[in-house]
Amino acid sequence: MTANAERAASMEKIVALCKRRGFVFPGSDIYGGLANTWDYGPLGIELKNNIKQLWWKTFVHRRRDIVGLDAGILMHPRVWEASGHVVNFNDPLVDCKTCKARFRADHLIEERLGKEAAGLTPDQMSEIIRTENPACPKCGNRTLTDARQFNMMFKTTIGPVSETGVDVYLRPETAQAMFVQFKNIMATARVKLPFGVAQIGKSFRNEITPGNFIFRDIEFEQMEIEYFVRPERAAEAFDAWLDAMKAWVGALGLQDAHVRVREHEQAELSHYSDRTLDFEYFFPGPMGWKELYGLANRTDFDLRQHQEFSGEDLSWFDQESGTRFLPYVIEPTFGVDRTILVVLLDAYDEEATVDVNGKADTRIVLRFDPKVAPYKAAILPLMKKPELTEIAKGIYDRIQTETDLLVDYDETGNIGKRYRRQDEIGTPFCFTVDPDSLDDGSVTVRDRDTTEQDRIAIDDVVSWLSSRVR
Ligand code: GAP
């Protein structure tokens, strides 16, 4: 395990870099922000799209057993009764009687009292809070209430008049639509067990959070798969998904020492789950190990519930044996925003160096895997002279028209500063057009990680780059 002290990354540095370079901005910034909301800027949206596309390619396009779905955020209110969210999707919260701030009771017990809170009931948490009487993290007074359950779903109303409208919820997970549309997919997609349905989309949870950047938002994106299997094959499918998720973590380029898999104890399991594993990431600072992804055996809980609540037969007819049964579901689930956060934390590096005047300096580098880097390369004319910018723009245009690789073009400022900017936004390669390019038809290519430079022919740039970043 990498000790925190050895890591260049800290949450504060990542938050500052994200704002400075346009990855992630605080939501509603000019109005003073809105707690736990974040907006992805010009580079953040490229990073996010690259991650989502890589996930879709890996789990949908490259597999013949998974089909896609893009369902609505608003669903029939009965969906959330059937799923158990109306009754079970609660956070245990405590209030401070003095300053009126509100906190998650389990987080307070873990972070302030250093005790394990997973699986405790609200009564057990209240007992600990009464006995230990911790100070309010905001005002310091020892005036915390008992823990009470609050439902985390956001409610809104369909219809112009709230009194006569229908109360609906913003979905708190993408998963349910895959169960609700199971029958339509069975009827149209020519699927055979085992098969999966994948979806990427927004989810909403009324989270009370200590503000760990995009780790826990109230509006976030999930990439989820519901994988339908014969009940007797569920354990085997679970193991296969564990391997597939490990391979995904490897493809993102995360360091092995920063990721571990933890089995949920019985008391910690969600109401729908028979077995759950968390992929945990070792966050810098006080956060330490926290959930990144989850893998659950949801049994036939969801299909059984929706069958009962909707009155529709959701069973699978097995041609071979002539029998009907409800398939079991293995669910690998991935948070998009958490993926972005760990990719940033893992890629962040600082290198001691000297500037052009020989003074000590620090080079900040995001060592992104080229697959997810927002820009795959930057095209830089050494000087802003028409004969150089014309060649540079020609290279840029060729890459944009002949490939689907996004590259940057930058002609302003000194070349050292432009390299540093590209290092800090994680661009793997810079192509520099200089006066020699006019004579020898080649450019300098600089490697982000080593800063080594080489010359390559302008005609080879497209194929050279394509082979390096795929
Ligand atoms: N369908 C199962 C489900 O939603 P979950 O553990 O509640 O399970 C799945 O969420 C994943 O979604 C988490 O592992 C995490 O990556 C992400 N996630 C959950 N809540 C989040 C939040 N408030 N902000 C950002 N990501 C979140």
Same domain (yes/no): 116, 136 = yes
438: in domain: yes
3 state SS for the chain: CCCHHHCCCCHHHHHHHHHHHCCEEECCHHHCCCCCCEEECHHHHHHHHHHHHHHHHHHHHCCCCEEECCCCCECCHHHHHHCCHHHHCEEEEEEECCCCCEEEHHHHHHHHHCCCCCCCCHHHHHHHHHHHCCCCCCCCCCCECCCEEEECCCEEEECCCCCCCEEEEECCCCHHHHHHCHHHHHHHCCCCCCEEEEEEEEEECCCCCCCCHHHCCCEEEEEEEEEEECHHHHHHHHHHHHHHHHHHHHHCCCCHHHEEEEECCHHHCCCCCCEEEEEEEEECHHHEEEEEEEEEEEECHHHHHHHHHHCCCCCEEECCCCEEECCEEEEEEEEHHHHHHHHHHHHEEEEEEECCCCCEEEEEEECCCCCCCCCCEEEEECCCCHHHHHHHHHHHHHHHHHCCCCEEECCCCCHHHHHHHHHHCCCCEEEEECHHHHHHCEEEEEECCCCCEEEEEHHHHHHHHHHHHC
Question: N- to C-terminal Cα distance for the chain?
Answer: 29
Indicate whether residue 298 lines ligand 1 (CB < 6 A): no
CA distance 296 to 305: 17
Residue 2 CA to ligand 1 centre (angstroms): 25
Share above pLDDT 70 across residues of the chain, in percent, rounded to a whole number: 99
Q: What is the pLDDT of residues 416-428, one digit of tens each?
A: 999 999 999 999 9
- Distance CA(206)–CA(202), nearest Å, equals 14
Please provide the average confidence, as pLDDT, over all residues in the chain. Answer: 94
Q: Is any ligand 1 atom within 6 A of the Cβ of residue 171?
A: no
Binding site membership of 307 for ligand 1 (Cβ less than 6 Å): no
Closest-CA residue to 85 (of 271, 267, 264):
271
Residues 255, 2 contacting (CB under 8 angstroms)? yes
Residue 411 CB less than 6 A away from ligand 1? no
Ramachandran category for residue 296: left, alpha or beta (phi over 0 → left; psi -120 to 50 → alpha): beta
Residue among 348, 94, 33 at smallest CA distance from 217: 33
Last residue of a domain, one of 151, 172, 191: 151
Same domain, 131 and 172: no
196 and 313 in a common domain: yes
The string of pLDDT tens digits covering residues 203-259 is 999 988 767 999 999 999 999 999 999 999 999 999 999 999 999 999 999 999 999
Report the nearest atom of ligand 1 relative to the CA of 294. Answer: 14
**In a domain? residue 61:** yes
Q: Any idea what the CATH number is for the domain that residue 260 is in?
A: 3.30.930.10
Do 317 and 456 fall into the same domain? Answer: no
At residue 70, does pLDDT exceed 50? yes
pLDDT at res. 61: 97
Q: Are residues 270 and 411 in the same domain?
A: no
What's the pLDDT at 396?
Answer: 98
Domain CATH number, residue 122: 3.30.40.230
Decide whether any atom of ligand 1 lies within 6 Å of the 302 Cβ: no
| 404 pLDDT tier (thresholds 50, 70, 90) | very high
Structural domain contains residue 282: yes
* CA angle (123, 126, 132) in 5-degree steps: 140
Judge if 295 and 424 occupy the same domain: no
Q: Which of 303, 327, 345 is the last residue of a domain?
A: 345
- CB 205 less than 6 A from any atom of ligand 1: yes
**Which residues neighbour 251 within 8 Å (Cβ) at sequence distance 6 or greater?**
54, 58, 369, 371
Q: Whose CA is nearest to atom 7 of ligand 1?
A: 173
> Does any ligand 1 atom lie closer than 6 A to the CB of residue 207?
yes
**Which is nearest to 408 in space by CA: 448, 456, 348?**
448
- Domain co-membership, 198 together with 146: no
Q: Does some domain include residue 454?
A: yes
CA distance 452 to 455: 11
Does any domain span residue 226?
yes
- By most ligand atoms within 8 Å of CB, the mutation choice from 276, 338, 341 for ligand 1 is 338
173 lines ligand 1 (CB under 6 A): yes
Is the pLDDT score of 270 beyond 90?
Answer: no
Ligand 1 mean position, distance from CA 173 (Å): 8
Residues 138 and 171 in one domain: no
Q: What is the pLDDT of residues 346-371, one digit of tens each?
A: 999 999 998 778 899 999 999 999 99
Rounded mean pLDDT, 389-408? 97
Separation between Cα atoms, residue 287 and residue 292, nearest integer Å: 12
Q: What is the pLDDT of residues 86-106, one digit of tens each?
A: 998 998 899 999 998 888 898
**Is 217 near ligand 1, meaning CB less than 6 Å away?**
yes
Same domain, 278 and 329: yes
Query: Do 422 and 363 contact (CB within 8 A), yes or no?
Result: no
Do residues 209 and 247 share a domain? yes
pLDDT of residue 165: 79
Q: How many domains does the chain have?
A: 3
Written as six digits, the tokens of 261 are 């898999």
Spell out the residues 6+ positions from residue 236 whose beta carbon is closer than 8 angstroms to its own.
Answer: none
CA-nearest residue for atom 6, ligand 1, is 294
Whether 223 contacts 55, CB under 8 Å: yes
CB atoms within 10 A of CB 31: 8
Span from the CA of 444 to the centroid of ligand 1 (angstroms): 44
3-class SS letters over 9-66: CCHHHHHHHHHHHCCEEECCHHHCCCCCCEEECHHHHHHHHHHHHHHHHHHHHCCCCE
For residue 2, is it within any domain? no
Residue type, 331: E
Question: d(Cα 245, Cα 249) in Å, to the nearest integer?
Answer: 6
- Domain containing 127 equals 90-151
Quick one: pLDDT band at residue 119, thresholds 50, 70, 90?
confident
d(CA 275, CA 307): 22
Quick check: pTM over 0.75? yes
Residues 6 or more apart in contact with residue 179 via CB below 8 angstroms: 83, 226, 302, 303, 306, 314, 329
Confidence at residue 239, expressed as pLDDT on a 0 to 100 scale: 98
| Domain assignment present for 352 | no
Q: Tell me: do 235 and 379 sit in the same domain.
A: no
Atom of ligand 1 nearest to the CA of 207: 23
Ligand 1: atom nearest CA of 175 is 1
The total number of residues shown for the chain amounts to 470
What is the C-alpha separation between 178 and 303, in angstroms, rounded? Answer: 10
What are 165-210's pLDDT values in tens digits?
Answer: 788 999 999 999 999 999 999 999 889 999 999 999 999 999 887 6
- How far away, in angstroms, is 214 Cα from ligand 1 center? 12
Q: Whose CA is nearest to atom 15 of ligand 1?
A: 335
- Ligand 1 centroid – CA 337 distance (Å): 9
Asked which of 151, 173, 194 is the last residue of a domain, the reply is: 151
* Å from CA of 222 to ligand 1 middle: 7
Choosing from 222, 274, 298 the residue with most ligand 1 atoms within 8 A of its CB, the one to mutate for a pocket test is 222
Answer yes or no: do 399 and 250 share one domain.
Answer: no
- Residue 42 in any domain: the answer is yes
CATH number, domain at 420? 3.40.50.800
Q: Which atom of ligand 1 is nearest to the CA of 209?
A: 23
pLDDT of residue 1: 41
